Structure 1
Amino acid sequence: MVVATEVPLLLRAARGEILDRPPVWMMRQAGRYMKAYRDLRAKYPSFRERSENPDIAIEISLQPFHAFHPDGVILFSDILTPLPGVGIPFDIIESRGPIIDPPIRTQEQINQLHPLDPEASLPFIKTILRTLRQEVGNKATVLGFVGAPWTLAAYAIEGKSSKDYTVIKGMAFSEPAMLHSFLGKLADAIATYVRYQIDCGAQVVQMFDSWAGQLSPIDYETFALPYQQRVVSQVKATHPDTPLILYISGSAGILERMAQSGVDIVSLDWTVDMAEARKRLGPNVGVQGNLDPCALFGSHDFIRARMEDIVQKAGNRGHILNLGHGVLASTPEDNVRFFFETAKQMRRS
């Protein structure tokens, strides 16, 4: 029986407690690899309807919780969700991904943006998060998430997903003042959004700066890190006890810089060894990760061995077991189940 005052395991890990097993969840754990999600997607083909209709989003968020009992339940949403609230409309097309038209290319467009009022523009977030907290109770930690300023700026300036980021990098290198003004407005809006998610029930919030791994270290320090710090400092000023996680894909070269953002936990991709990451980050920064998502296409013995390697190298303080990126759409659902079951049986040596 769960005691009403018991603190969920993932939240305890995020706060740096010593634990005998790692809490576990998966990025993109609510999504296309699950038949239940695909069935719902067929009924509601619009991604924005699925993520912004509270009843649907709650059901999707809870699908992996009911199926696999992870230690974390994350809000089903998108990193672009708050953009219309500042004056940047977007759409998500199933075969093409996010589309922002017109993209942000001028100072005049940036000047026309306005502060985020989440109560007015994002009321569904409150309904979703409050309901998740009620449904999950203390059996799991409810996670919120946001996009970081650089990544949101990249989507808004490129107008879509990109392979080379030439438009935003061109702006960064030729018109840096304009980009900095945009990043500042986004950082303030994201900080407001994080605080809103916490007030609505999120117990931990993960910030995705997915595209910051495409920056050189000097450009990361110029265009990404200061705005991560701006978000974190504003959130910590009002919500100092809520753990924050930062994830960047392709981040092995900038781990130490990620720690400078002020977050409590750095989420690792699979391109860095867990023990090496621990040494580089130091004892005061927690870690999350970092199984290669493709490992879930291996045998159960292979998956278990890779998980055991990560868990033993991570140690018993401040580690959340996760993938190094989102679970892939073609992943066998039974292997996802095995991942969670195995994690629950693990004990630190």
Structure 2
Amino acid sequence: MGSTYFGVQVFSYAELEEATDNFNPSKELGDGGFGTVYYGVLRDGRVVAVKRLYENNVRRVEQFLNEIKILADIRHPNLVTLYGCTSRHSRELLLVYEYIPNGTVADHLHGGRANTGNLLGWPVRLSIAIETANALAYLHANDIIHRDVKTNNILLDNNFHVKVADFGLSRLFPNDVTHVSTAPQGTPGYVDPEYYQCYHLTDKSDVYSFGVVLIELISAKQAVDTSRHRHDINLANMAISRIQNQALHELVDPSLAFETDYAVRTMITAVAALAFRCLQNDRDMRPSMGEVLEVLKGMQNEESRSQIPEVVDIAADDVGLLRHVPPPLSPPDSAENDKWVQIKTM
């Protein structure tokens, strides 16, 4: 009691077992390749999400300590807060986070919450994009690469504010090198093709993944969907094709009034052009996360709306850069697919 890892509180296994009603299946929020997340209430009254890693082996301990080390040193309103953990020598590896009640962006776009009154209108989607970009720009400024940016890892509170989560694959990036060499890890449909082919991980790998997130926000389509035509299974490929062929309307979620609302159409076109730049195979041709954030903020700012056509024109010039570039590859399936979704009936 009272001990810490990297300044993070260490909980006893018994306390977290009690908080989750002995890991009652009715408290389950979601599960993935690395672990299951449970709803819990601590003895001090805090409502939490308790992540229970499936295995206590060397690899899991590495991911466990990695997430603790990264989250212990950073604070940002759009990053999930880590409250504590169990000891690495505990019978199970448990991580304790603040509880975010409104599911994930993926859940609202094409999951269980997608048909609940279309709460994700365009202004909300643009705000989600900005807050996610803000969180990633903050990480990059602190030499951290998330490495698993996806809509399943973007949590939403009841006001639809963003909390980026899941740092098990993240890397602290040395500030005196241009990249680190590491075997590709991540989720199919989101992995930077240059990272996949060359094993070179950079902050631009997150930029690529964020480009896929932007396309998801525009289209409400999944990053990988085997029910689509074989050329469109990978959403990044599909988006590149539609943008190059000036057929963006075929990609956009019909609920967004793209065809009837000029202001919405202008902004969606600008976001699509920005996503196109993020999805370029050559990482040097992608904008930085800071640049992405500034462009998105300009779109949201009423005073900057007159600048949006200029952004579109500049970005549209980049279309030619991808005309003869092979489409991005999809990596082997990742085991990680955490979904912190709604509580089952308790």
Q: Greater helix percent: which structure?
A: 1
Structure showing greater Rg: 2
By relative contact order (CA 8 Å, sep 6+), the higher-ranking structure is: 1
TM-score range, shorter chain: under 0.3
